[in-house]
Amino acid sequence: MFKTRLISGIILVLIALAVIVPGGNTLLLALAMISFLGLNEFYRVFEIEKALPGMIGYAAGIGYYVFLWLCVGRQMKEEAVFGSAFLGSLSGSEVFAGGILLFLVLLMFAYVFGFPKWKTEQIIAAFFGLFYVEVMLSFVYLTRMLPLGKYLVWLIFLCSWGCDTCAYCVGVLFGKHKMSPKLSPKKSIEGAVGGVVGAAALGAIYGAVIGHYVNTEVVLLGLPGSFAILCAVGGLISMVGDLAASAIKRDHEIKDYGNLIPGHGGILDRFDSVIFTAPIVYFLAKAFLG
């Protein structure tokens, strides 16, 4: 099992390099595919992956990534007119809000006119899944598209996967006090502290390394200090993402979301912490670096 996980992990890193380094439409398309697969795994938990609410969710996800391509990939300004006779003078944020409202209305149509075919929780899951998987994961792309994105985007993985690795090592060596015995019996408080400290250390080291290549004025503690704080916060949030995904699985008595990645499970099993970390890194990076 360890060998399988190691090989899969190496392949994942190579794929990440292949799509994140060039960024742009390559990364956007890759994330759209990953998000679609993750959303399908999430919908399977609630048995709507082939039902009308799920189909509406998939369509909304495709629409969201098209929106990103139009507004971010083509570098349209937030204040700019969206640019068509059909949409008039709507800004990007107004189009996004309108799309979300349309998505909700379509789900309500399916719920009302299909009643009692689908349960309330299935409709809620269809709506929630779009944000939990597609929107939150898209912040990997949004971070990469920042002015310093080619450096900042790697903080997402230092926070999530780095924290997870450090937490595991410290937990195995020193873990005594259970952090969440009912939800994740193997996770310890010592491991959690080690994960956050380890993520902060990785962030500081990374900041020191790339400091020679980045010409920017950092408001707080220099690039290593700022990255250390960012990674510590991101690492803490990544554990919430990991436990949230575990809670959903335990509620529905499943072991893994899928088996797409040998030794790791499904997309949501491997990216559960990244989903939560990506938005945090994006907003903290903008706050720290402007």
Q: Can you say whether residue 263 is alpha, beta or left, with left for phi > 0 and alpha for psi between -120 and 50 degrees?
A: left
Burial of 1 (0-12, 13-18, 19+ CB in 10 A): exposed
CB 41 within 8 A of CB 275: no
CA atoms within 13 A on the CB side of 151: 19
Amino acid in the structure at residue 110: A
Predicted confidence at residue 253, as pLDDT, reads 87
CB-CB contact of 70 with 25 (8 Å): no
3-state secondary structure of 219: coil
Structure-model confidence comparison of residues 56 and 93, the more confident one: 56
Distance CA 186, CA 170 (A): 12
Percent helix, strand and coil across the chain, each to the nearest 5: 70, 5, 25
Does the pLDDT value for residue 87 go beyond 80? no
Smallest CA-to-CA distance from 207 within 280, 276, 289, 140 is with 289
Q: Give the residue among 61, 83, 57, 59 at the shortest CA–CA distance from 71.
A: 83
Q: Are 150 and 260 in contact (CB under 8 A)?
A: no
Q: Residues 56-72: what's their mean pLDDT? A: 93
The amino acid sitting at 81 is: V
Note the pLDDT tens digit of each residue in 128-144.
999 999 999 999 999 99
Closest of 46, 45, 60, 67 to residue 131, by C-alpha: 60
C-alpha span between 48 and 26 (Å, rounded): 29
Which pLDDT score, from 0 to 100, does residue 73 have?
Answer: 62
| Calpha distance 125→238 (Å, rounded) | 22
Taking the C-alpha atoms of residue 238 and residue 236, their distance in angstroms, rounded to an integer, is 5
pLDDT of 74: 59
Nearest to 281 by CA among 231, 244, 245, 242: 231
pLDDT tens digits for 221-277? 678 888 899 999 999 999 999 899 989 998 998 888 988 877 678 899 888 899 999
Quick one: which of 116, 109, 123, 141 has its CA closest to 29? 141
pLDDT in tens, 174-203: 878 788 777 777 788 888 899 999 999 999
From residue 241, how far is each of 134, 138, 236 by CA, in Å?
14, 15, 9
**Helices first, then strands: H and E counts in the chain:** 12, 2
Q: Which residues contact 287 (CB under 8 A, 6 or more apart)?
A: none
Q: What is the pLDDT of residues 144-159, one digit of tens each?
A: 999 889 999 999 998 8
Residue 82 pLDDT greater than 80, yes or no: no
Q: Give CA angle at 179 (177, 183), nearest 5°.
A: 130
Q: CA 81, CA 42: separation in Å to the nearest integer? A: 35
Q: How confident is the model at residue 81 (pLDDT cuts 50, 70, 90)?
A: very low
The answer to whether 163 and 198 are in contact (CB under 8 A) is yes
Q: What number is the average pLDDT over the span 271-286?
A: 92
Give the model confidence (pLDDT) of 15-40 as tens digits: 888 999 999 999 999 999 999 999 99
Q: What is the predicted pLDDT for the residue at 59?
A: 97
- pLDDT score at 286: 85
- Residue 1's pLDDT band (boundaries 50, 70, 90)? low
Task: For the chain, give the mean pLDDT.
Answer: 86
